Amino acid sequence: MSLSQGVTETVINSKKTVNRKKIKKDKWVPYLFILPSFLIILGFLFYPIATVFYYSVQHYDVSAPYYNGFAGLENFKEIFTNDKMFVPSLINSLKWVVTEVGLQLVFGMILALLLNQTFKFRGLVRAVAFIPWAISGVLASTMWSLMFNEHMGVLNDLLMKMGIINEPQAFLASTSTAFTSVIIAELWRGIPFFAITLLASLSSIPNELYEAARVDGASRWKSFIYVTLPQLKNTIVLTTLLRVVWEFNNVDLLFNLTGGGPAHSTTTLTMYIADLAVHGSNFGYGSALTVVSFGILLVFAILYLKLSRYEKE
């Protein structure tokens, strides 16, 4: 081997070594960029979740600190054997979620189909239609509380002028109307979420599919069934799953409108947990209830995704 060949091989080997070190160094660069986000998620999401699981096996009552300590599964045993509010509140949650998500999906689909048409001032109409989704739960509950008011509410005034009722009704104070009233208030706020997401998916459906359906003699209804719905399947599955979780955990509007009353007719499981934490100060038992609700939602999400075959899409 000549001297020049030896020098060349040395240079090549040194370059390979430098490249390996550079590759190893560059390999960790993406992780350094996501490290701040990971730490934020760890601090604001996983740590609170871990804290809830920790307190779920503890006796932690601020009003009776002398009883605080490790409880094991005693809180969970209390939930499933002696808690008289657990089953009624869970039933209320199921009624609330099924009614809200079902109606929001139907009306959101109708609104999205209307807003997908071409007409004058379409942009302005879309902006106005999406306003309820931008309003906070506290503000929305205040607005609806005033509208449902027995003495000065606009709803009572309209119904009396239309001859539907003869005297003002306390919609939020009656066990027969309170649940329906909060359903209407949350429905008004939730419809735009489905409208926004479905409208985005509708805009991405190729017009060629509808043209082919028209050529084959399909009516508008058949085009909706065989073209629109299959194209919206993934969006519907994802949005309904998200909305089920959000509505199951909804507490702001219920808390501000009825506080779970009257006679616990609007007390959902989340409202029951909030009541234990805010008024009862029993954070250990409230954490156990939170873990149970987390388990319910987790099982539902897994079964829902399996049955809808969302992961295969």
On whether both 92 and 205 belong to a single domain, the answer is: yes
pTM for the model stands at 0.83
On whether both 86 and 171 belong to a single domain, the answer is: yes
Residue 311 CA to residue 157 CA, distance in Å, equals 50
On whether both 144 and 39 belong to a single domain, the answer is: no
Rounded average pLDDT over 147-163: 87
Query: Taking the CB of residue 212, how many other CB atoms lie within 10 A of it?
Result: 13
Range of the domain at 161: 82-308
Position 165 confidence tier, pLDDT thresholds 50, 70, 90: confident
In a domain, 67, yes or no: no
* Beta bridge mates, 58: 70
* Beta bridge mates, 59: 69
In a domain, 263, yes or no: yes
Rounded average pLDDT over 172-182: 89
On whether both 216 and 116 belong to a single domain, the answer is: yes
On whether both 42 and 185 belong to a single domain, the answer is: no
Q: Domain count of the chain?
A: 2
Top-confidence residue, 8 or 166:
166
In terms of Cβ atoms closer than 10 Å to its own Cβ (0-12, 13-18, 19+), residue 272 is buried
- Name the phi and psi angles at 248, rounded to 5: -60, -35
On whether both 7 and 107 belong to a single domain, the answer is: no
In a domain, 16, yes or no: yes
Which stretch of DSSP H or E encloses residue 69?
A: strand 69-70
On whether both 267 and 145 belong to a single domain, the answer is: yes
User: How far, rounded to the nearest angstrom, does the alpha carbon of residue 68 sit from its chain's CA centroid?
Assistant: 34
Top-confidence residue, 112 or 8:
112
Per-residue model confidence (pLDDT) at position 3: 47
In a domain, 75, yes or no: no
**What is the rounded average pLDDT for all residues in the chain?**
85
On whether both 88 and 46 belong to a single domain, the answer is: no
The CATH number assigned to the domain holding 212 equals: 1.10.3720.10
On whether both 189 and 269 belong to a single domain, the answer is: yes
Please, are residues 156 and 140 in contact by the beta-carbon 8 Å criterion?
no
Query: Taking the CB of residue 174, how many other CB atoms lie within 10 A of it?
Result: 16
Rounded average pLDDT over 180-196: 92
In a domain, 66, yes or no: no
Phi-psi region of 264 (alpha: psi -120 to 50; beta: other; left: phi over 0): left
In a domain, 156, yes or no: yes
On whether both 9 and 113 belong to a single domain, the answer is: no
Give the pLDDT confidence of 77-92 residue by residue, as tens digits: 999 999 899 999 999 9
Tokens of 36: 């701040």
Position 313 confidence tier, pLDDT thresholds 50, 70, 90: low
Up-side HSE of residue 74: CA atoms within 13 Å toward CB? 10
